Amino acid sequence: MTKKIFVFLFLSLTNIHLWSNEPLLDSAKENYATGNFKTAIQHYQSILNKGLISPDIYYNLGNCYFRNGQLGRSILYYEKGLKLDPSHENASFNLALAKTKRLDKFDEVPQFSFDIVLIGLDKYISHNHISILGSILIIVAASGFIYAKKIKIKKFINLARITASAGLLITFIAWKQQSAINNYKSGIVVAKSSNIFSEPNPNSTLLFEIHEGVKLEIISESNGWINIKTPDNQVGWIDENTIENI
């Protein structure tokens, strides 16, 4: 467990994306500004295909799809941006705006679990920020412990131990938070409309129709079909070609 925590901490502190000098970035922005949304989309997608990602690229791509009349994909990329940076205010605002354009309305059923709480916490303070706080406390504790040992003051030694324990606990919470986020799978309906069936078979009972832009929880996958749960806890199967993972 301790090894996993420190691996997570290391990855959090070294997760830096060097995409700012990408030549296609300026071209994508220029095409968006002149209304060439399809070309801008192609350039942003090319950037992503190189493995160069950032919340701003997802946000800009969401804007391109929205202006190009592709509501489902615009919501998809706003969600992707917020998954990387839950505090991205522009993506959050535009996502809320895009959601008002959806045809389907659901009465969301609240869900309660430790993982749901951790995922919700990420909207206010990300696991990256929590892990940084934990690492700072660990570093301060280590420095304080060395100093306290040198001057041989037991009170300072105990304080350093408490600080180290707090740092490890906070880092553990950040690791659990990231694990909860990664394990929770969801997707956005990108097709104009899609049928939800009772089984992974188009000949099974048709339960209902769903339209682009709806966010669905992904339960499992089977032979080109995805078992999903709607915001109001209805369960069924959807063709994998009509939904994209966040």
Query: What pLDDT shows up at residue 149?
Result: 80
Q: Assess if CATH 1.25.10.10 describes domain 186-245.
A: no
**With bands split at pLDDT 50, 70 and 90, how would you rate the model's confidence at 178?**
confident
User: Which residues face 210 on adjacent strands?
Assistant: 194
Q: Which helix (H) or strand (E) holds 61?
A: helix 55-67
- Segment 205-228 shows an average pLDDT of 95
Query: What pLDDT shows up at residue 206?
Result: 97
Give the CA distances from residue 157 to residues 2, 140, 213, 236, in Å, rounded to whole numbers and listed in that order. Answer: 22, 12, 55, 57
Instruction: Tell me which amino acid residue 227 is.
Output: N
Q: What is the pTM of this model?
A: 0.71
Query: What pLDDT shows up at residue 112?
Result: 66
- Segment 176-187 shows an average pLDDT of 84
CATH pick for 2-99 out of 3.40.50.10490, 1.10.357.10, 1.25.40.10, 3.40.50.80:
1.25.40.10
- Segment 144-171 shows an average pLDDT of 86
pLDDT tens profile 34-64: 999 999 999 999 999 988 889 999 999 999 9
